[in-house]
């Protein structure tokens, strides 16, 4: 006796079940799409002014001795704003050739990270560019130049390496070092080009090339950008605190103290370079809202940097007082979307630099 086949639902019922399943999937996808659109609308109303995202973004290349540096000769974007990278891998216009430089011409070189580079602002909004504008007004006969040597994601030790390998070739009269609270790291041993920011640039480039429409859709979404930045802030190491968290709380572990000691060594090296190559050095500490609003009065930054500079005889200034005064007056030095500087914030930095370097300029030979 053979087994009877199991009962099979009629073909019509099978098609009906499949249809209902696909209908549910379509409704679910539609609901997700509506939720994302409402989220996008809510974010843009709550925080207007999201700049969007242009392509191509300014890109970097592996560079032995530096880890990475900007690729020269790029006409790109910094988020949604034009970013010009000249033939010397610096943001901004071409640098005057040595053959055209006259005795008495004034040249200021600004080294730093994305704050100096000018993340999420245009070429003419960066503080090196605005510094040059002010210098041109004050010293028109000196044909001043302010070179933007800022590179996104650089740490303090990379400032020094870039200055040695690239910046000194410009023969600057004055070099400013713009330090930000997240620039602290131990100098790696040996060749650290392998770091290349964990290959992030290559990963992003590959994703953009493979799925360009998805990439642009995500990058131009204010909702996605806010969710991404919120998740970065929420992620914590197993200890519960990052180096920057402890720094703001006025704390330092034994490992942290080694980082601080290495930073002091880099500042000492900056002072030594200035003596060997006869330029005037200036350190400027660029503070964050947590510093300026008094939320962390015990913060080690910028106090320790200023203390080290004082001990080393290295000129230094801080933006804390002027940023705090502007916040109280309703003039935010930072962008609405993150802690990078707005055009107004960059202007304040340029003005603080001018105050500090005017006595230095007076000491420089005119002819």
- What are the residues whose beta carbons fall under 8 Å from the beta carbon of 143, sequence distance 6 or more? 96, 102, 105, 106
The Cα 88–Cα 170 span in angstroms is 10
The answer as to whether 30 is a domain residue is no
The answer as to whether 14 is a domain residue is no
The answer as to whether 313 is a domain residue is yes
The answer as to whether 53 is a domain residue is no
Q: What are the phi and psi torsion angles at 26 (to 5°)?
A: -65, -40
The answer as to whether 68 is a domain residue is no
- What are the residues whose beta carbons fall under 8 Å from the beta carbon of 117, sequence distance 6 or more? 78, 91, 126, 148, 150, 151, 152
The label of the residue with tokens 């997700």 reads 32
- The DSSP output letter for 113 is S
- What are the residues whose beta carbons fall under 8 Å from the beta carbon of 17, sequence distance 6 or more? 9
Please calculate the CA angle 116-122-126 and round it to the nearest 5 degrees. 30
The answer as to whether 342 is a domain residue is yes
Q: CA nearest 251: which of 296, 285, 308, 290?
A: 296
pTM as predicted:
0.88
The Cα 305–Cα 263 span in angstroms is 8
Looking at the structure of the chain, the number of domains it has is: 1
- What are the residues whose beta carbons fall under 8 Å from the beta carbon of 229, sequence distance 6 or more? 337, 338
Q: Give the DSSP H/E element, type plus range, for residue 318.
A: strand 316-318
If one counts every other C-beta atom within 10 angstroms of the C-beta of residue 33, the result is 10
Per-residue confidence in pLDDT tens, the chain, 367 aa: 555 555 555 655 555 667 777 788 888 888 887 887 887 788 777 777 778 888 888 999 888 889 899 999 999 999 999 999 999 999 999 999 999 999 999 999 999 999 999 999 999 999 999 999 999 999 999 999 999 999 999 999 999 999 999 999 999 999 999 999 999 999 887 767 665 555 556 666 667 777 777 877 877 887 877 777 777 666 666 667 899 999 999 999 999 999 999 999 999 999 999 999 999 999 999 999 988 888 899 999 999 999 999 999 999 999 999 999 999 999 999 998 888 999 999 999 999 999 999 999 999 988 6
The Cα 68–Cα 81 span in angstroms is 22
pLDDT in tens, 78-129: 999 999 999 999 999 999 999 999 999 999 999 999 999 999 999 999 999 9
The Cα 207–Cα 164 span in angstroms is 34
pLDDT in tens, 313-363: 999 999 999 999 999 999 999 998 888 999 999 999 999 999 999 999 999
The token duo for 76 is 């790109």
Bridge partners, 111 (sequence order): 149, 177
The token duo for 91 is 């943001």
Domain with 339 in it: what CATH number?
3.40.50.1110
Give the domain extent around 167.
Answer: 100-198+239-363
Q: CA nearest 149: which of 165, 137, 167?
A: 167
- What are the residues whose beta carbons fall under 8 Å from the beta carbon of 249, sequence distance 6 or more? 241, 296, 298, 299
Q: CA nearest 361: which of 172, 88, 234, 122?
A: 172
Q: CA nearest 175: which of 149, 155, 151, 154?
A: 149
The answer as to whether 95 is a domain residue is no
Ranges assigned E (strand) in 48-150: 60-63, 67-70, 74-78, 81-85, 107-112, 145-150
Ranges assigned E (strand) in 196-309: 280-285
The Cα 36–Cα 83 span in angstroms is 30
Give the orientation angle of helix 343-363 with respect to helix 127-138, to 10 degrees.
50
67-70/60-63 β-pairing = antiparallel
The answer as to whether 28 is a domain residue is no
- Please write down the HEC assignment for all residues of 182-216: CCCCCCCCCCCCCCHHHHHHHHHHHHHHHCHHHHH
The Cα 175–Cα 314 span in angstroms is 12
């Amino acid at each position: 006796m053979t087994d009877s086949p199991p009962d099979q639902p009629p073909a019509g019922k099978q098609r009906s079940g499949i249809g209902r399943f696909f209908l549910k999937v379509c409704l679910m996808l539609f609901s997700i799409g509506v939720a994302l659109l409402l989220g996008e609308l809510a974010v843009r109303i709550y925080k207007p002014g999201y700049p969007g995202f242009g392509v191509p973004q300014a890109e970097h290349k592996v560079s032995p001795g530096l880890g990475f540096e900007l690729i020269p000769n790029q006409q790109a974007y910094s988020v949604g704003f034009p970013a010009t990278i000249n033939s010397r891998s610096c943001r901004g216009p071409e640098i005057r050739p040595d053959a055209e430089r006259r005795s008495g011409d004034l040249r200021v070189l600004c080294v730093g990270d994305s704050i100096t580079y000018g993340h999420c602002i245009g070429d003419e909004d960066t503080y090196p560019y605005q510094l040059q504008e002010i210098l041109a007004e004050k010293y028109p006969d000196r044909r001043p130049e302010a070179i933007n040597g800022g590179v996104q994601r650089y740490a303090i030790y990379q400032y020094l390496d870039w200055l040695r390998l690239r910046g000194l070739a410009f023969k600057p009269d004055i070099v400013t070092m713009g330090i930000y609270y997240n620039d602290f790291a131990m100098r790696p041993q040996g060749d650290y080009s392998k770091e290349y920011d964990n290959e992030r640039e290559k990963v992003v480039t590959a994703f953009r090339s493979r799925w360009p429409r998805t990439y642009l859709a995500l990058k131009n979404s204010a909702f996605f950008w806010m969710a991404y930045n919120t998740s970065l802030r929420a992620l914590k190491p197993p200890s519960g605190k990052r180096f920057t968290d402890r720094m703001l709380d006025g704390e330092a572990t034994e490992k942290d103290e080694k980082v601080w000691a290495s930073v002091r060594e880099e500042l000492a090296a900056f002072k030594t370079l200035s003596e060997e190559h006869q330029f005037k050095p200036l350190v400027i500490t660029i503070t964050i809202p947590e510093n300026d609003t008094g939320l962390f009065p015990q913060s080690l930054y910028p106090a320790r940097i200023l203390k080290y500079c004082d001990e080393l005889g290295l000129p230094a200034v801080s933006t804390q007082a002027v940023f705090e005064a502007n916040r109280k007056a309703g003039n935010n030095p930072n962008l609405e979307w993150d802690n990078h500087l707005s055009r107004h914030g960059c202007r304040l930095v340029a003005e603080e630099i001018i105050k500090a370097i005017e006595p230095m300029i007076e000491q420089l030979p005119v002819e």
